[in-house]
Amino acid sequence: MPTANIDTAKLHWNSVVSTALAKYMCIDIKSFYLSAALEYYEYMKIPYALFPRWTIEQYGLEKHVHNGYIFLEMRRAVWGLPQAGILANKKLKRKLAPFGYHECKNTPGLWYHETRNITFTLVVDDFGVKYVDKTDVEHLIASIKSNYELTVDWTGNLYCGISLDWDYINRWVDISMPGYIKKKLQEYDHTMPTRLQRCPYSPEPKQFGSQTQVPLPPDESPELDAKGIKRIQQIVGSILYYARAVDMTVLAALSTIAIKQTKATQRTRDRSIQLLDYLASNQDAKVRFHASEMVMNIHSDASYLSESGARSRACGHFFMGWMPKNGEPIKLNGAFYTTSSIMRFVVASAAEAELGSLFHNCQAGMIF
């Protein structure tokens, strides 16, 4: 189903603190997946031996057994049904349309009202609502309540696992994911480093003179077994959301590890250990969004021949700020999007790497 991505949510939070008198709250629909009727019936079979005795007796299943199975006809959505999500989303659109709520055509997961000053991001059944007048929120709540059961959080302090600390007087918000890294370190049984790790990634030593045109040597360390490769993949997958959400400093390390995760080596494992050491030493990352003029600023950079296979890295720092003025320093703000990706093509010089990175960042900026 169409849902708001993390970048849309961050831009929405920037908009809240940048709009005078605006506030933020959250709504959650109960049993959202189970609310929609199927467009066509589905059928499945369950082994008779799996049913407990009390269920068999309650529904008289003995007379419905066929070749050791109970055959079921599903007329409404159930957990795990592939189309349950999109059907529930279509139903929500049908139910909210008469009240004037619609999804933006070009931004999935971002909704608006035809006349009221209210917008919200939607991720499955989680609403993150920006409003100025409380009566607008009450109208939205009443519109949803006409068809669903819901819970309301007027503080707006938690959305999709991200904690939000609002200061409406000074117009800023801190976003964080407290406890997430601690939980992952316990999951991976990672030992805390004896010394604090200040760097998530160890780059190759800087070369000078003619050596700057020499590609990095290939990784010839022993390959990991299937269990080691799976662990690397788990680390990359679980840390990626955290990195995109609140701690962009580890994106370079993650991308370098990710390109080797299917053929991970001992060097890849060492890099993943350093990454976990860094996260263990810096567990509570935060990003602060200040009120701004909502002018998108993009800082572009590149590193030449910094990756294996004679490849270079493109980087971009995106934040909502102010219109730059001549003679005045650029005001900075918390980044809503940071890219640190390895270029697929081989460039001939550092200038080409910079130009390629600039092109890549402008492409990404057009989406926002």
Q: Between these two residues, 308 and 17, which has the higher pLDDT value?
A: 17
Range of weakest confidence among 63-72, 77-86, 137-146, 151-160: 77-86
Confidence tier at 171 by pLDDT (50, 70, 90): very high
Read off the pLDDT of each residue in 154-176 and give the average, rounded to a whole number.
95
Q: Does the structure show a pLDDT above 70 at 152?
A: yes
pLDDT tens column, 246-295: 999 999 899 889 888 888 889 999 999 999 999 999 988 999 999 999 99
**Among the listed residues 290, 275, 269, the one whose alpha carbon sits nearest the alpha carbon of residue 334:** 290
Summarize the confidence of residues 19-25 as an average pLDDT. Answer: 95
Instruction: Of 4-18, 74-88, 103-117, 313-327, give the lowest mean pLDDT range.
Output: 74-88
Tell me what the mean pLDDT of segment 310-323 comes to. 92
Amino acid at 204: E
pLDDT at residue 210 in the model: 66
Q: What is the pLDDT of residues 193-231, one digit of tens each?
A: 888 898 998 877 776 776 666 777 777 788 889 999 999
Does position 310 have pLDDT exceeding 90, yes or no? Answer: no
Instruction: List phi, psi (to 5°) of 55.
Output: -70, -40
What 8-state DSSP symbol labels residue 261? G
Q: Six-digit token pair at 296?
A: 């998108």
Burial pattern 45-73, b for ≥16 Cβ within 10 A else e, equals: eeebeebeeeeeeeeeeeeeeeeeebeee
234: pLDDT strictly greater than 70? yes
pTM: 0.87
Average pLDDT in the chain:
90
Q: Does the pLDDT at position 2 exceed 90?
A: no
> Which one is predicted more confidently, 132 or 344?
132
Please check whether residue 37 is in contact with residue 94, taking contact to mean a CB–CB distance below 8 angstroms: no
Residue 361 φ/ψ, nearest 5 degrees:
-70, -35
> Residue 114 — very low, low, confident or very high, per pLDDT cuts 50/70/90?
very high
- DSSP class of residue 58? H
CA pair distance 130, 112, nearest whole angstrom: 10
Residue that the structure tokens 């049993």 belong to: 31
CB 130 within 8 Å of CB 4 = no
Confidence of residue 79 (pLDDT cuts 50, 70, 90): confident
Judged against a pLDDT cut of 80, whether residue 357 lies above it is answered with yes
Domain borders along the chain are 6-34+82-176, 37-76, 180-281, 286-367
Looking at residue 212, its pLDDT comes to: 67
33's tokens: 């997946």
Report the CATH architecture of 6-34+82-176. Answer: 2-Layer Sandwich (3.30)
- Name every residue whose Cβ is closer than 8 Å to that of residue 324 and which is 6 or more positions away in sequence: 297, 330
Q: DSSP 3-state helix, strand, coil percentages of the chain (rounded to 5)?
A: 40, 30, 35
User: Percent of the chain at pLDDT above 70?
Assistant: 98
How would residue 172 be classed by pLDDT, with cut points 50, 70 and 90?
Answer: very high
Q: What is the pLDDT of residue 69?
A: 95
Mean pLDDT of 304-324: 89
